[in-house]
Amino acid sequence: MNQQPHTLHPLVARYLHDLDVLLKGIEPVERAEMVEGVREHIEASLSHTDRADADVRAALKEVGPATAVAEEAWAGRTSPAPSPRPPRTSRAWLPHTVAFFEAVTLLVVMVAVGGSAAVSSSSATVTTPDGKTTTEVTQNNFDGSIEGAVIALFAAIPIWLED
Partner 1 sequence: MVLSDDTKLSHLRRGALEYCVLALLERHERYGLDIARELTTNGVLMSSEGTLYPLLARLRKASWVSTSWQESTEGPPRRYYSLTEAGATALDEFRAAWTVFRDAVDAALVSSGEIA
* Residue from the set 33, 97, 98, 122 that interacts with partner 1 by CB under 8 A: 33
* Residue from the set 47, 97, 123, 141 that interacts with partner 1 by CB under 8 A: 47
What's the CA angle centered on 11, arms 63 and 51, to 5 degrees?
80
Nearer to partner 1 (CB atom), residue 22 or residue 113: 22
Which 3 state secondary structure label does DSSP give 119?
coil
* Residue from the set 14, 21, 24, 37 that interacts with partner 1 by CB under 8 A: 37
Enumerate long-range contacts of 106-114, CB under 8 Å, 24 or more apart: 106/152, 106/153, 106/156, 106/157, 109/149, 109/152, 109/153, 109/156, 110/149, 110/152, 110/153, 111/149, 113/148, 113/149, 113/152, 114/144, 114/145, 114/146, 114/148, 114/149
* Residue from the set 64, 107, 151, 158 that interacts with partner 1 by CB under 8 A: 64
Nearer to partner 1 (CB atom), residue 43 or residue 102: 43
| Total residues interacting with partner 1, rule: CB under 8 A | 27
* Residue from the set 51, 55, 58, 65 that interacts with partner 1 by CB under 8 A: 65
Q: How far apart are CA 82 and CA 3, in angstroms?
A: 33
- Spell out the alpha helix ranges (H) of the chain: 10-22, 28-46, 53-63, 66-74, 93-118, 147-156
51 part of the interface to partner 1, by CB under 8 A:
no
Quote the least distance from Cβ 154 to partner 1, whole Å: 39
Nearer to partner 1 (CB atom), residue 41 or residue 91: 41
30 part of the interface to partner 1, by CB under 8 A:
yes
Residue numbers of the site for partner 1 (CB under 8 A)? 1, 3, 5, 19, 30, 33-34, 37-38, 40-41, 43-45, 47-48, 62-66, 68-69, 71-73, 75
